Amino acid sequence: MRLTVTDVTKSFGGTRVLRGASLTVEEGDLAAVLGPSGCGKTTLLRIIAGFESLDSGSVRIGDREVSGLPPERRKVGIVPQEAALFPHLSVARNVGFGLPRGSAERIEECLELVGLAGLGARMPHQISGGQQQRVALARALAPRPGVVLLDEPFNALDRSLRVSVRDEVRAALKRAGATAVLVTHDQEEALSMADTVAVMREGRIVQEGSPISVYAEPFDLGVATFVGEAVVLAATSDHGVASCELGSLPQRTNGVPGRGRVALRPEQFVLREPGEGAAGLVERVEFFGHDAAVTVVLDSETVVRARTRGDVLHRPGDRVGVTVQGPVLFFPE
């Protein structure tokens, strides 16, 4: 079902934690709420779930205003940070915990949704951490909730496991047709998994949109540097051209002429022969296989990190020239 959070405020003691947070998630979409530690993500999730009351604003699931209802009447499924399965109950009984008796078919259906068909008889300690997290998802999906909330659900998993569990969780949510909210401070997780990203800062959602639009058209410099990497340089804008130490560069959008800053993405830097562009010295090369990141200290002391192809030919200590390709993001002062 569609989830609509409108202008929610919440204080603890005298501290305002949510300052008018609004969020819309369309039916069947997975939205990631992305923000730094302490910005209010978990509080927002707990308010949607009904574990915390709100001071003002509203939460609607489908057509229903739920902010006055207790958690069990909201039809919300929750996947916590750690699977938190009952250790003495089988996987199937964990999944069926909130269901009426005689729900064996629904339990098996949910295990199938998360790719664990046939594992119902196992005990939690007999399956991997990633599988436990998928059981927690099956448990959340079992009562057919209107909205599924996932609170940093991959935190307890090690890095190598995370990526595959992420894919499986996304696929299961899509198979179930669930409307879901994923809270995370991991931008790669948000950008790669979600249909929409809501960037949260100091108790507010400051931008909502597709992962591509939030990356390519950030609302302000704060979003530009939080969502993706950027080198920020002083610049002056005039008629859609921003001039900075790396040259005069076309802007992504025309703005008011004047002073401000440009945010340059790693994939915009091009490494060239010395003599072309801004001169610098290669400090570090990180090789990732399909691509690489080359850190260059320019003679101006500005440090840039360029994403290049995997067949990188540079070595630390090489002299290079650096230019910038494509339109740049300019933010007026």
Residues interacting with ligand ATP, by CB under 6 A?
A: 12, 17, 35, 37-43, 185
Q: Are 216 and 228 in contact (CB under 8 A)?
A: no
In the complex, minimum distance from the CB of residue 210 to ligand ATP, in angstroms, rounded to a whole number: 22
CA neighbor of 155 nearest in space, from 140, 144, 166: 166
In the complex, minimum distance from the CB of residue 185 to ligand ATP, in angstroms, rounded to a whole number: 5
CA neighbor of 195 nearest in space, from 217, 216, 180, 215: 180
For residue 63, what are its two tokens? 């057509």
In the complex, minimum distance from the CB of residue 130 to ligand ATP, in angstroms, rounded to a whole number: 22
In the complex, minimum distance from the CB of residue 1 to ligand ATP, in angstroms, rounded to a whole number: 24
Of the two residues 38 and 250, which places its CB atom closer to ligand ATP in the complex? 38
For residue 94, what are its two tokens? 């964990």
Tell how strand 64-65 and strand 56-61 pair up: antiparallel
Of the two residues 134 and 185, which places its CB atom closer to ligand ATP in the complex? 185
H or E, element range at 78: strand 76-79
Distances 100 to 103, 105, 135 between C-alpha atoms, Å = 6, 12, 18
Q: Are 40 and 203 in contact (CB under 8 A)?
A: yes
Tell how strand 258-264 and strand 231-238 pair up: antiparallel
Of the two residues 226 and 330, which places its CB atom closer to ligand ATP in the complex? 226
In the complex, minimum distance from the CB of residue 19 to ligand ATP, in angstroms, rounded to a whole number: 11
Of the two residues 35 and 50, which places its CB atom closer to ligand ATP in the complex? 35
In the complex, minimum distance from the CB of residue 153 to ligand ATP, in angstroms, rounded to a whole number: 13
Of the two residues 42 and 237, which places its CB atom closer to ligand ATP in the complex? 42
Q: How far apart are CA 80 and CA 307, in angstroms?
A: 35
Cβ burial of 7 (10 Å; 0-12, 13-18, 19+) is middle
Q: Are 305 and 266 in contact (CB under 8 A)?
A: yes
Of the two residues 77 and 203, which places its CB atom closer to ligand ATP in the complex? 203
In the complex, minimum distance from the CB of residue 39 to ligand ATP, in angstroms, rounded to a whole number: 4
Tell how strand 3-12 and strand 15-25 pair up: antiparallel
In the complex, minimum distance from the CB of residue 218 to ligand ATP, in angstroms, rounded to a whole number: 19
Of the two residues 38 and 247, which places its CB atom closer to ligand ATP in the complex? 38
For residue 179, what are its two tokens? 């409307």
Distances 47 to 54, 86, 192, 215, 258 between C-alpha atoms, Å = 6, 25, 26, 28, 43
Q: How far apart are CA 198 and CA 200, in angstroms?
A: 6
Of the two residues 154 and 331, which places its CB atom closer to ligand ATP in the complex? 154
Of the two residues 185 and 265, which places its CB atom closer to ligand ATP in the complex? 185
Cβ neighbours of residue 253 closer than 8 Å, sequence gap 6 or more: 217, 330
In the complex, minimum distance from the CB of residue 157 to ligand ATP, in angstroms, rounded to a whole number: 17
